[in-house]
Amino acid sequence: MLSILFASILLAPGGDSRPLDTVELTNGSKLTGRVVYEDADGIVLLSGSNEREIARDKIARCESRAAASREAFGLWRGLSEDDLAATLSLAKDCRARKLEEEAQLFAWQVLAHDGANAAAHEFLGHERRKDSWLVNDGVRRWPWEKLLELRADWKDAWVLSSEHYRVRTNLPLVEAVQSVLELEGAYESFFELLGRPLRFHELLEPLEAQVHADEKSFPEFAGDARSYFASATHVLYVNASRGFDRGALVHEAAHQLLDACIQTTRTGRGDVPGWLNEGLAEYMRATTLGPLGRPLCDPGALDLGRFREHAGAKEPYDLGRVLTFDSSDFLGSVKSSLKYSASYTLVCWALDSEEPQLRERFFAYLGKVCKGNGSSTAFKSALELDERAIQKDWDAFVRATLQEK
């Protein structure tokens, strides 16, 4: 029996305008809606505002956008970067499966590497004009070469979409497409790490991101942060004027996803404690590997620099202090890097220690966080350990990790 602890559906007032998923039951009836959760036991189907849990043995056939888009990105990661024919064929496959955003994104990927590719231009509806192509841009039309120049200016920036993101960026097309692909990779890793065990529902409204290629257009934030997630607007901002930084993008994507998946049960700001928010974001950053645009999650990958910083500190932060860090403690304040390292190693300890029960209990704590109780008392009681025991075990884990590597 499925038990859904909390929902995280962000529906626009007008609802989700994409084609609906279809589910055929063994009794012959056909249902439509959106499959927002799926595991070995069954699915959760959202139809209008009704949520229905359907056991696996009652389902004859199920076609969902969530599964189709995961499959498309899985196929994408298996292609080599220069296999443009296969990329275009994947774009066509996505269009046939009504994944129009992915279809166009992969066609843009082809054009990013071969601006003269006629099949990709035609796929995107561009019109051939002598030896160039005309591209519709709202009420205007631009020759292809002119469009590439215009997009470098923030006011005419690219707006590229995927199943879960809408990204505005004035980066060159190669990196513009990469940033969307990186975000989709982060979404998938996040749901793999936290979404399944915590039964988060798929996000149905795209998350907004801005990746700025120039300093001038980047909206400043306290503490001179070069990238940040603004919880008031739910928008993720990356300053890529010194180069595209995957780590920064993935770190902020984790904050945005935590916000989107936990917000419906949050009782107010700050329910995801600062140490946990930053620790998980650093954990996701460190486990994201693979070539740019084809991110691969390696759950065993560690940022040993953070371990060294924490272990080598003259006055490392102890557990009592770490558990009370709030988000403002990380803003360019004194020893902020050390705070990230302490928070990150604590999250690694809870997720990756040799003790399987600990991970399970940590997820029980995350369940409480989702319900608005992320206090240090909740942490200790979910782990069934007192402060001294946690401190001792965490220290030993950090030492052992550094000795092993």
Give the x-and-dash track for 116-145 against Zn ion (CB under 5 A). ------------------------------
Closest distance to Zn ion from the beta carbon of 130 (Å): 50
Helices (H), 295-386: 304-312, 319-322, 336-352, 356-370, 376-383
State both tokens at 223: 């503490």
> Which of 349, 377, 379, 346 has its CA nearest to residue 365?
379
Q: Which is nearer to Zn ion, 103 or 284 (CB)?
A: 284
Task: Compute how many other C-beta atoms are within 10 angstroms of the C-beta atom of residue 27.
Answer: 7
Q: Which is nearer to Zn ion, 90 or 281 (CB)?
A: 281
Q: Element (H or E) spanning 282, and its range?
A: helix 274-286
Contacts with Zn ion: how many residues (CB under 5 A)? 2
Strand partners, 135: 142
Q: Which is nearer to Zn ion, 6 or 221 (CB)?
A: 221
Task: Compute how many other C-beta atoms are within 10 angstroms of the C-beta atom of residue 70.
Answer: 17
Closest distance to Zn ion from the beta carbon of 259 (Å): 11
End-to-end CA distance of the chain: give it in Å, rounded. Answer: 42
If you search the block for the tokens 């809606």, which residue do you land on?
A: 33
Q: Which is nearer to Zn ion, 123 or 325 (CB)?
A: 325
Give the x-and-dash track for 227-266 against Zn ion (CB under 5 A). ----------------------------------------
Half-sphere exposure of 6 (CA within 13 A, CB side): 20
33 contacts 21 by C-beta, under 8 angstroms = yes
Q: Element (H or E) spanning 357, and its range?
A: helix 356-370
Instruction: Beginning with the edge strand found earlier in the chain, give each strand of the sheet holding 127-129 in spatial order.
Output: 127-129, 132-137, 140-143
Q: Indicate the residue whose CB is closest to Zn ion.
A: 281
What value does the CA radius of gyration of the chain take, rounded to a whole number of Å?
23
Closest distance to Zn ion from the beta carbon of 228 (Å): 8
Distant-in-sequence, close-in-space partners of 395: CB < 8 Å, separation ≥ 6: none
Closest distance to Zn ion from the beta carbon of 173 (Å): 28
Scan residues 32-91 and list those touching Zn ion (CB under 5 A): none
Q: Which is nearer to Zn ion, 88 or 281 (CB)?
A: 281
How far, in Å, CA of 140 to CA of 128, rounded?
Answer: 16
Strand partners, 239: 212
Scan residues 263-292 and list those touching Zn ion (CB under 5 A): 278, 281
Q: Which is nearer to Zn ion, 135 or 281 (CB)?
A: 281
Q: Which is nearer to Zn ion, 231 or 324 (CB)?
A: 231
Q: Which is nearer to Zn ion, 132 or 263 (CB)?
A: 263
Residues in the chain, overall count = 405
Please give the angle made by the CA atoms of 40, 45 and 48, to the nearest 5 degrees: 170
How far, in Å, CA of 398 to CA of 402, rounded?
Answer: 6
Closest distance to Zn ion from the beta carbon of 263 (Å): 17
Q: Which is nearer to Zn ion, 278 or 309 (CB)?
A: 278
Q: Which amino acid is residue 110, in one-letter code? A: V
Scan residues 360-399 and list those touching Zn ion (CB under 5 A): none
Q: Which is nearer to Zn ion, 102 or 182 (CB)?
A: 182
Closest distance to Zn ion from the beta carbon of 325 (Å): 11
Closest distance to Zn ion from the beta carbon of 233 (Å): 16
Closest distance to Zn ion from the beta carbon of 178 (Å): 21
Closest distance to Zn ion from the beta carbon of 282 (Å): 8
Q: Which is nearer to Zn ion, 73 or 330 (CB)?
A: 330
How far, in Å, CA of 301 to CA of 91, rounded?
Answer: 32
Half-sphere exposure of 247 (CA within 13 A, CB side): 7
Closest distance to Zn ion from the beta carbon of 237 (Å): 12
What is the maximum alpha-carbon separation in the chain?
75
How far, in Å, CA of 204 to CA of 165, rounded?
Answer: 10
Closest distance to Zn ion from the beta carbon of 252 (Å): 7
Q: Given the rule CB under 5 A, which residues bind Zn ion? A: 278, 281
